[in-house]
Amino acid sequence: MLRISLAAFLATTALVLPAAAQTIYPLNRAEILAGAKFDFKVEFPGSPAEADVKVTIDGEDAAKVLGGKVTFVQKEDGQDYSAYYLRDVAMAKAGNVVVEAKAGDKTSSVTWDVFDTPKGRLAKNVILFIGDGMSVTDRTAARILSKGLVEGRYGGELEIDDMPYMALVSTSGTDSVVTDSANSMSAYTTGHKSCVNALGVYCAKNKKNLEHPKVETIAELVKRKLGLAVGIVTNSEIEDATPAGVVSHTRKRSDFNDIVKMYYNIEADIMMGGGSPNFLPKATPGSKRTDEENFFEKFKAKGYAVATTATEMRAAFAEGKTKVLGIYNTGNVDGAYDLKFKKGTTDKFPDQPGLVEETKLTIDALSKNPNGFFLMVESARIDKYKHSLDWERGVYDTILLDYAVKVAKEFAAKNNDTLIIVVPDHAHMVGIIGSYVDSRPGNTPRDKLGVYADSTVPQYKPDADGYPESVDLPVRLAYAFGTYPDHCFDAKPHLDGEFVPAVAGAEKGTFVANDKYCTPGSVKITGNLPLDANSGVHAADDVVLTAMGPGADVFHGHIDNTRVFRAMATAFGLAKL
């Protein structure tokens, strides 16, 4: 099977590569759910007239096959190509189809894999957990910190490990080896790959972010086809790439104001995270909107309870509300470490809820919908803390994810009609290489590092909450980062606040070690990244997915990230409706 697809891959690549060929979206080898909506676009270089182009699907006129009316734009956005669109269309029948675009003597063709969900509906609910940027190392470290390690054996399994199905997932996007959280999430929520910074669209030549060819998201599909409840819970800003990927269509993930509007239009039942400034009208101090729309008021007018603290969230659910907008911070919600030890922004936001309680209350509320629900829960700051080389906080948030998964497993155990998927969206280059042992002679991190036989096992002590009561032990994990900007390194945890390895340098677009940490006992490490990198970067390594429940058996071996969408669509039986 590998050989066949490799041959097909090489053949089609050769066909598409010549310069100035037409570009067809969805791209070659797209997997398209039968009945799912998408924008079909062809770009013809040289701006030919409509009469001079021909677009077919399996030899038939594309407009006839897909339905809808062709929009044809010569010199789109002032660029030298003609755009052929059939927006908001769907492929009705499953099977491989060949799409061909001709203009004069130039022909391009792509193959689409239109897939069915032949078994009908397998799962009432799907809960998708995203460990943002969670590498295998984070699972290992989370196990050591929360379960303990004695004589090579762990004190227990993580909830995310104790699941019957597992797969290796590849995460690269359409444009580059290394993905970001936008296009990787987009693959999970739409089944289509996209490019860095893009959500729910193919990256075409359009100049306007919102005009790129769109593909339908899982939230749109389950609302449209099944009338399911939809929940989105994160501890990042709600507008950040991963949560936004559930509902958004834009070429640029930074379009926070547009993304808020998309949340509003789609009406996800429960939304929780940070990022209030983009909900506030421009005139309100602290707003980041460029218009006078007050989205808190607009959501209220649609019947949402708006919660800004854990107390308000509990009250809303206690009143039986099933439409809740919970925004708990102006920026990201504090991670598990900072919530526990009252660091981060807890002085300004003392009553932020944690992901575990949010997951539990959200599941309880969503499950009131008799049709079922789709819920996405993200532990977002695993990635953010790893960008800032603050591994302890990242691992706390991996443990946080694990306890949120536990809540979902307890819910699923009642009826066994819920598919649970736990998956990172991409990796970082990290590894556990030993331990730092303070009693070793010398002063520098190298002196203190024990490797192989000298890598004494650290004794982290989980407390009643299941998190280590301290990470500042005389023997600590040596969790190493493979990518970094210039920074000062002392091999110690940053108890008072998230590590900020580098700050902007004198030259525009460069970053230098943050002096604050260049104290005795630290060493200055020269970065190994481009000078404009201020923090660690993502890695293209495969990530580990674990899953359980109806429909989870499709996860084994190695899969592309698009298959996560396909598994969810299959579990819901979405093509048959």
Partner 1 sequence: MAARPASSAISCTRRELLAACAILASGSALAAEPEVFTFDTLYKSIGVMGIVYSDRLVAAKGNEISLTGYMAPPLKAESTFFVLTREPMAICPFCQSDADWPIDIIVVYLAAMSPLVGAGTKVRVTGRIEIGSWTDPETGFVSQLRLRDADYRRV
Q: Which residues bind partner 1 (CB under 8 A)?
A: 180, 182, 197, 241, 252-254, 256, 276-277, 280, 282-288, 290, 296, 308, 327-331, 348-349, 388, 500-509, 511-512, 514, 532, 534-535
CB of 387 to Zn ion, least distance (A): 6
Shortest separation between residue 449's beta carbon and partner 1, angstroms: 26
Q: How many residues bind Zn ion (CB under 5 A)?
A: 1
Query: Smaller CB distance to partner 1: residue 329 or 561?
Result: 329
283 or 453, CB closer to partner 1?
A: 283
What pairs with residue 462 in β-bridges? Answer: 468
Closest approach, Cβ 128 to partner 1, in A, equals 22
- Least distance to partner 1 from the beta carbon of 132, Å? 14
Residue with the CB atom nearest Zn ion in the bound state: 383
Residue in 43, 383, 390, 486 binding Zn ion, rule: CB under 5 A: 383
Shortest separation between residue 177's beta carbon and Zn ion, angstroms: 15
Cβ–Cβ < 8 Å for 50, 62:
no
Q: How far is the CB of 311 from partner 1 (least distance, A)?
A: 13
Q: Per the structure block, which two tokens stand in for 492?
A: 């110690």
DSSP 76: G
Sheet architecture: strand order including 449-450 = 449-450, 430-437, 475-481
Tokens of 107: 């022909």
Q: Interface with Zn ion by CB under 5 A: which range of 14-22, 64-72, 189-197, 379-387?
A: 379-387
Contact of residue 455 among partner 1, Zn ion, none (CB under 5-8 Å per partner type): none
User: Shortest Cβ distance from residue 281 to partner 1 (Å)?
Assistant: 9
**Sequential DSSP letters for 212-281:** SPBB--HHHHHHHHH--EEEEEEEEETTSHHHHTTT--BS-TT-HHHHHHHHHHHT-SEEEEE-GGGGS-
Q: Could you say which of Zn ion, partner 1, none residue 470 binds, taking C-beta under 5 to 8 angstroms by partner kind?
A: none
| Residue 507 binding partner per list partner 1, Zn ion, none, with a CB distance cut-off of 5 to 8 Å that depends on partner kind | partner 1
Q: Which of 255, 482, 528, 251 is nearest to 386 (CA)?
A: 482
Select from partner 1, Zn ion, none the partner in contact with residue 398, using the beta carbon and a kind-dependent cut-off of 5 to 8 Å.
Answer: none
Q: Judge contact between 476 and 506, C-beta under 8 A.
A: no
Among partner 1, Zn ion, none, the one that 383 touches (CB under a kind-dependent 5 to 8 A) is: Zn ion
**Nearest to Zn ion of 36, 169 (CB atom):** 169
Q: Which of 274, 550 has the CB closer to partner 1?
A: 274
What separation in angstroms does the CA of 237 have from each of 186, 240, 271, 331?
17, 5, 11, 6
Complex with partner 1: residue 182 or 376, whichever CB lies closer: 182
Beta carbon of residue 175, minimum distance to partner 1 (angstroms, whole number):
15
* Residue whose CB is less far from partner 1, 179 or 197: 197
Which burial class, exposed, middle or buried, applies to 78 when counting CB atoms under 10 A from its CB (0-12, 13-18, 19+)? exposed
Residue among 90 and 500 whose Cβ is closer to partner 1 = 500
For 250, other C-beta atoms within 10 Å of its C-beta total 24
Q: Which of 289, 323, 287 lies closest to 306 in space, CA to CA? A: 323
Binding span for Zn ion by CB under 5 A among 11-19, 41-49, 115-123, 375-383: 375-383
- b/e string for 318-340 if b means 16 or more Cβ within 10 A? eeebbbbbbbbbbbbbbbbbbbb
CB of 177 to partner 1, least distance (A): 18
Residue 282's Cα: distance from chain center in Å?
29
CA dist., res. 98 & res. 460, Å (int): 57
For the four alpha carbons of 238, 242, 248 and 251, in that order, the dihedral sign comes to positive
Among the listed residues 197, 233, 232, the one whose alpha carbon sits nearest the alpha carbon of residue 218: 232
Taking contact as CB under 5 A, which single stretch among the options 96-104, 241-249, 258-266, 377-385 is the one that binds Zn ion? 377-385
- CB nearer to Zn ion: give 48 or 536: 536
Please, which residue, 173 or 191, has the CB nearer to partner 1? 173
β-bridge partners, 84: 42, 72
**Could you list the residues that contact Zn ion (CB under 5 A)?**
383
